[in-house]
C-alpha cells in the first residue's frame, strides 16, 4: 500500500518534497500525480534528476486537465518515463486518438471513471478503449466504481472483465462532489469483497487514511 501525491496539495509541484512525504508512509508503492498538464514537465525533470526513488512500485498519473499538447507529443513524453516507473495511469475521457497510445503497451493503465466524467464508467464504455489497446492494463478505482453503481455490481463486472490486466487499485471514498476523501468504515466493508480479489497488486490511497 502507498500514497498518491494527488492529495498532498500544499506541496503541489514540489516533486522532491512530495516523493519524500509519500516515502515517509510507504516505500512499497507510490503514485506521483501530474493530473494537470502544466505539472508534467516538472515531474519529468524530477524523474530524470539524480534522486533515486525508493519505491518498489511507482506509478505516474498522467494529465487529464488543462491539456494542450498534441496527443502524439504527450505519448512521446510518457513513453520516455517507462524506464522510471512501472505504469502510467490515464483517464479514458482524456484520450481521443486512442491509436496514439498503443505504443505505451503494458506501461499504460486505463482508470475507470466517476460520474462527473463523460465516459469510462462501465464495462461497455471501457470496452472499446481496452480492445483498441490490448496490452494496456487496468487501474481500478474502487470509489469511482461505487459512484457509478453503489451495489458494486459494476465494479465486479469490471474486475471480472479485466482483472487479469489489473496493475493497481485506487482506494478512497468520495464526497458528494466526487472528491476523494478518507475511506469511510462503511465503504471499507462495502469494498472488502472486491479488494479481496486484489491482494497481489499495490493499493494506492487517494486520500489520507482516517487515522492520519
Partner 1 sequence: MDTRSGAAELLSHPEGALEDLSKASGTTFPNLASARAHTPERLATLRRDIGPLCESDRFSIVLFGSWARRELTPHSDDDWAILVGGEASVNDSDVEAALAATRDCLGQGAAKPGSQEIFGLAFRFDDLVTKIGLDDDTNTNLTRRMLLLLESVPVSGQEVWEACRNEVLERYLARGLKSHRPPRFLLNDLVRYWRTICVDFEGKHPLGGEGGDQKWVTRNAKLRTSRKMLFAGGLIPVLMCHLREVSEMPEFLRAQLHAPPTDRLAAAFLAEGMVDEGARTLAAYDKWVGLLQNELCRKELLELTEATRESSRLFQQITGLGRQLDRGLLALLFDTQLGGITRNFGIF
Cβ 200 to partner 1, closest distance in Å?
Answer: 4
Query: Binder to partner 1 among 7, 163, 178, 182 (CB under 8 A)?
Result: 163
Cβ 32 to partner 1, closest distance in Å?
Answer: 17
Mapping DSSP onto H, E and C, the string for 52-112 reads CCCCCEEEEECCCECCCCCHHHHHHHHHHHHHCCCEEEECHHHCCCHHHHHHHHHHEEEEC
Interface characters, 95-134, with partner 1 (x: CB under 8 A): ----------xxx---------------------------
Q: Cβ of 12: how many Cβ atoms within 10 Å?
A: 17
- C-alpha to C-alpha distance for 126 and 111, rounded to whole angstroms: 9
40: phi then psi, degrees, rounded to nearest 5: -65, -45
Per rule CB under 8 A, is residue 145 in the interface with partner 1? no
Q: What does DSSP assign to residue 148?
A: H
Per rule CB under 8 A, is residue 198 in the interface with partner 1? yes
Per rule CB under 8 A, is residue 73 in the interface with partner 1? no
Per rule CB under 8 A, is residue 177 in the interface with partner 1? no
Interface characters, 44-63, with partner 1 (x: CB under 8 A): ------------xx------
Amino acid at each position: 500500500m502507498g500514497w498518491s501525491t494527488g492529495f498532498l496539495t500544499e506541496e503541489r509541484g514540489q516533486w522532491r518534497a512530495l516523493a519524500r512525504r509519500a516515502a515517509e508512509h510507504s516505500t512499497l508503492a507510490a503514485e506521483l500525480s501530474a493530473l494537470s498538464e502544466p505539472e508534467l514537465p516538472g515531474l519529468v525533470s524530477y524523474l530524470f534528476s539524480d534522486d533515486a526513488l525508493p519505491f518498489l512500485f511507482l506509478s505516474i498519473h498522467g494529465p487529464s486537465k488543462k491539456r494542450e499538447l498534441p496527443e502524439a507529443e504527450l505519448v512521446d513524453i510518457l513513453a520516455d518515463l517507462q524506464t522510471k516507473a512501472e505504469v502510467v495511469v490515464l483517464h479514458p475521457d482524456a484520450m481521443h486518438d486512442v491509436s496514439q497510445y498503443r505504443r505505451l503497451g503494458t506501461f499504460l493503465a486505463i482508470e475507470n471513471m466517476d460520474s462527473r466524467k463523460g465516459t469510462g464508467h462501465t464495462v461497455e464504455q471501457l470496452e472499446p478503449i481496452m480492445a483498441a489497446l490490448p496490452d494496456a492494463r487496468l487501474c481500478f478505482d474502487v470509489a469511482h466504481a461505487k459512484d457509478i453503481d453503489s451495489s458494486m455490481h459494476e465494479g465486479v463486472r469490471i474486475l471480472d472483465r479485466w482483472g487479469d490486466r489489473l496493475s493497481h487499485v485506487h482506494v478512497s471514498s468520495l464526497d458528494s462532489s466526487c472528491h476523494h476523501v478518507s475511506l469511510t468504515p462503511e465503504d471499507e466493508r462495502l469494498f472488502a469483497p472486491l479488494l479481496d480479489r486484489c491482494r497481489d497488486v499495490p493499493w494506492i490511497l487517494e486520500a489520507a487514511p482516517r487515522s492520519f
